[in-house]
Chain A
């Protein structure tokens, strides 16, 4: 399977702990996006990369959130001092520069903060 992969698929943590998620995009895709989705809502943009450069961060992304894509391949999303409101599905997507921006989504990481 050469689609977008995410790890872990599920994460349960206690409030105040730090968590890190990983996304491996489709290999030839240079754009990588992070979205957050809560129950009954559509995905909400967090940040995105072109190669290793972080091009944009949502205003909704607090300073507890940080994302990296150090070699322009996989990306990590870290949440520090988690809060119960961080509980959500974190989706990663990637796209091909030659396409009309069809974004291919990974299966997501479901975070539960107790």
Chain B
């Protein structure tokens, strides 16, 4: 079966660092994605990991451990506009196949 777990909600302070965790148990694994989704809007791509380790992209970094079925998204220097839902998604098969999404983590950034 498919199971992707993320915390439901998190709150962090402007300027701080926050780590959003994701654990997954899927029938196959061919990459993990993080998407950002503001309320009422479409998800937008943040990062992709297929090999173990850390991928850094500006204020956002994503880490993957395939042996542990674990990933995290790290957001640095938080800004109010980072308040959104963050979706962890797994590609189970090779090629351009559908993604399996977690329920998302709603992040609130407060002053």
Contacts and interface: CB of A to CB of B under 8 A. Distances in A.
Contacts of A105: 35, 42-44
Given A42-B89, A43-B101, A44-B101, A101 B96 contact: yes
A95 B43 CA distance: 14
Interface residues of B, number: 25
Contacts of A40: 8, 103-104
Contacts of A31: 96
A45 B96 contact: no
Contact of B87 (A43, A100, A101): A43
Nearest to A96: B96
Contact of A43 (B43, B44, B50): B43
A91 B35 CA distance: 14
B103 A95 contact: no
Contacts of A107: 41-42
Contact of A101 (B4, B8, B35, B95): B95
A101 B48 CA distance: 9
A101 B30 CA distance: 10
A42 B31 contact: no
Contact of A106 (B4, B42, B99): B42
Interface in A8-26: none
A103 B91 CA distance: 11
A-B interface, 6 closest residue pairs, ranked by CB to CB distance from nearest: A42-B101, A105-B42, A45-B98, A31-B96, A101-B96, A95-B96
Interface of B: 4, 8, 31, 33, 35, 41-45, 48, 50, 87, 89, 91, 95-104
29 contacts: A4-B42, A33-B98, A40-B8, A42-B4, A42-B101, A42-B102, A43-B87, A43-B101, A44-B101, A45-B99, A56-B98, A96-B96, A97-B96, A100-B31, A100-B50, A101-B31, A101-B95, A101-B97, A101-B99, A102-B33, A102-B45, A103-B45, A103-B99, A105-B35, A105-B42, A105-B43, A106-B42, A107-B41, A108-B42
